[in-house]
């Protein structure tokens, strides 16, 4: 199975090495670094008499063994939200050109990726990813998040802890299941409901049975959408997870959120984690 591709930022790389979970990055992803980010990571090597860090040595080893790729964007995107010619500017440009994911811990570029429809994860997302993939326990995941205190936005840590405590694996590991359904059901309706069905049936010139099926299906759709909104607002699931509950595509669900006045938080932790989980599932 071809691994999904991701462009890695300096901060994300340093944090993963610090947490000793960088090996999972290689296991699940083809990783890329623009030369600008490579320079940032290797910069402190010039001061190795007082700065000795595993993030540099591991990076060099992976580079020597061809386990990472150095690649630059053909053209830098125009964005007022990015520092011009910065590492973030280069990696987001590269990701946009090649449809790669972005792994970054800096807040503004992280949020910008969502606005630009670029899949992204920060260190907290990656910990959640590893928990869903059953690489680490819930307790280990919470421990790793706490270790990032004062290294990443506290809000991300708090959201991550809440997310991992509320997560329900079945929402992200949905498999096709065949059911033996009894397709014929007897319903007892009130006189008022029957009068309305007969009236609408005549008005719309459709069969009463077709009309009843239509009403039932529409009610189920509305109910599942209501459940999805509630789960998202309680931060029990991401937008992607909520879209799964509603049985809608990501875009369709976001459109429904806008229609119903549901606030969309593009900086939400866990937003793209489930997509990466699916992308890294083994094909059978």
Question: Per-residue confidence at 284, pLDDT binned at 50, 70, 90?
Answer: very low
Instruction: Give yes or no: residues 109 and 69 share one domain.
Output: yes
Instruction: Give yes or no: residues 70 and 125 share one domain.
Output: yes
What pLDDT does 140 receive? 96
Is residue 86 situated within a structural domain? yes
Is residue 26 situated within a structural domain? yes
Is residue 157 situated within a structural domain? yes
Instruction: Give yes or no: residues 64 and 112 share one domain.
Output: yes
Instruction: Give yes or no: residues 237 and 114 share one domain.
Output: no
Question: Per-residue confidence at 170, pLDDT binned at 50, 70, 90?
Answer: very low
The winner for highest mean pLDDT among 99-103, 170-174, 191-195 is 99-103
Number of domains making up the chain: 2
What is the domain-level CATH number for residue 17?
3.40.50.1010
Instruction: Give yes or no: residues 167 and 204 share one domain.
Output: no
Does 232 have pLDDT greater than 90?
A: no
Tokens for 209?
């049975």
Instruction: Give yes or no: residues 275 and 249 share one domain.
Output: no
Is residue 65 situated within a structural domain? yes
Does 173 have pLDDT greater than 50?
A: no
Distance of CA 272 to the CA centre of its chain: 1
pLDDT in tens, 181-190: 556 667 788 8
Is residue 179 situated within a structural domain? no
Range of the domain at 105: 5-173+269-279
pLDDT in tens, 112-154: 888 888 999 999 999 999 998 999 999 999 999 999 999 999 9
Pair 113, 91: CB distance under 8 Å:
no
pLDDT in tens, 3-30: 999 999 999 999 999 999 999 999 999 9
What pLDDT does 72 receive? 96
Calculate the dihedral angle through the C-alpha atoms of 109, 115, 119, 122, rounding to the nearest 10 degrees: 40
Share of the chain above pLDDT 90, in %: 43
What pLDDT does 264 receive? 67
pLDDT in tens, 32-58: 999 999 999 988 776 665 556 789 999
Convert 207-241 to b/e letters by CB count within 10 Å (16 or more is b).
Answer: eeeebbeeeeeeeeeeeebeebbebbeeebbbbbb
Instruction: Give yes or no: residues 111 and 195 share one domain.
Output: no
Is residue 183 situated within a structural domain? no
Instruction: Give yes or no: residues 169 and 195 share one domain.
Output: no
Q: For the chain, give the mean pLDDT.
A: 85
Lowest mean pLDDT among 198-212, 214-228, 259-273: 259-273
Instruction: Give yes or no: residues 33 and 150 share one domain.
Output: yes
Instruction: Give yes or no: residues 108 and 237 share one domain.
Output: no
Q: What is the mean pLDDT of residues 193-202?
A: 88
What pLDDT does 124 receive? 95
Kindly give the residue spans of alpha helices, DSSP state H, lying in the chain.
10-19, 22-28, 35-42, 54-64, 87-98, 107-115, 123-132, 138-147, 154-166, 191-204, 208-233, 239-246, 250-259, 273-279
What pLDDT does 138 receive? 92
Is residue 184 situated within a structural domain? no
Does 211 have pLDDT greater than 60?
A: yes
Is residue 103 situated within a structural domain? yes
Instruction: Give yes or no: residues 58 and 20 share one domain.
Output: yes
Pair 104, 11: CB distance under 8 Å:
yes
Instruction: Give yes or no: residues 74 and 114 share one domain.
Output: yes
pLDDT in tens, 87-122: 999 999 999 999 999 999 988 899 888 888 899 999
User: Can you tell me whether residue 124 is helix, strand or coil?
Assistant: helix
Lowest mean pLDDT among 23-27, 72-76, 201-205, 242-246: 242-246
């Amino acid at each position: 199975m071809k691994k999904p591709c991701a462009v890695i930022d300096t901060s994300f790389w340093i944090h993963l090495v610090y947490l000793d979970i960088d090996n999972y990055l290689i296991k699940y992803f083809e990783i890329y670094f623009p030369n600008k980010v490579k320079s940032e990571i290797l910069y402190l090597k010039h001061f190795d008499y007082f700065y000795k860090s595993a993030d540099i040595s591991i990076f060099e080893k992976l580079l020597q063994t061809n386990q990472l790729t150095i690649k630059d964007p053909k053209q830098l995107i125009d964005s007022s939200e990015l520092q011009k010619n910065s590492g973030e500017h280069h990696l987001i440009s590269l990701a946009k050109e090649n449809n790669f994911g972005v792994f970054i811990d800096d807040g503004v570029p992280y949020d910008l990726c969502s606005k630009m429809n670029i899949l992204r994860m920060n260190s907290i997302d990656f910990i959640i990813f590893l928990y869903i993939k059953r690489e680490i326990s819930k307790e280990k995941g919470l421990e790793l998040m706490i270790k990032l205190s004062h290294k990443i936005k506290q809000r991300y840590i708090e959201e991550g802890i809440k997310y991992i405590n509320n997560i329900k694996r079945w929402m992200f590991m949905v498999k096709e299941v065949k059911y033996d359904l009894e397709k014929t059901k007897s319903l007892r309706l009130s006189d008022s409901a029957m009068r309305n069905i007969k009236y609408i049936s005549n008005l719309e010139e459709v069969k009463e049975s077709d009309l009843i099926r239509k009403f039932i299906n529409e009610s189920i759709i509305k109910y599942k959408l209501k459940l999805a909104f509630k789960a998202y607002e309680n931060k029990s699931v991401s937008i992607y997870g909520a879209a799964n509950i509603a049985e809608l595509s990501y875009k369709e669900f976001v459109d429904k959120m806008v229609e119903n006045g549901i606030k969309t938080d593009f900086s939400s932790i866990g937003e793209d984690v489930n997509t990466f989980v699916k992308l890294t599932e083994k094909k059978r």
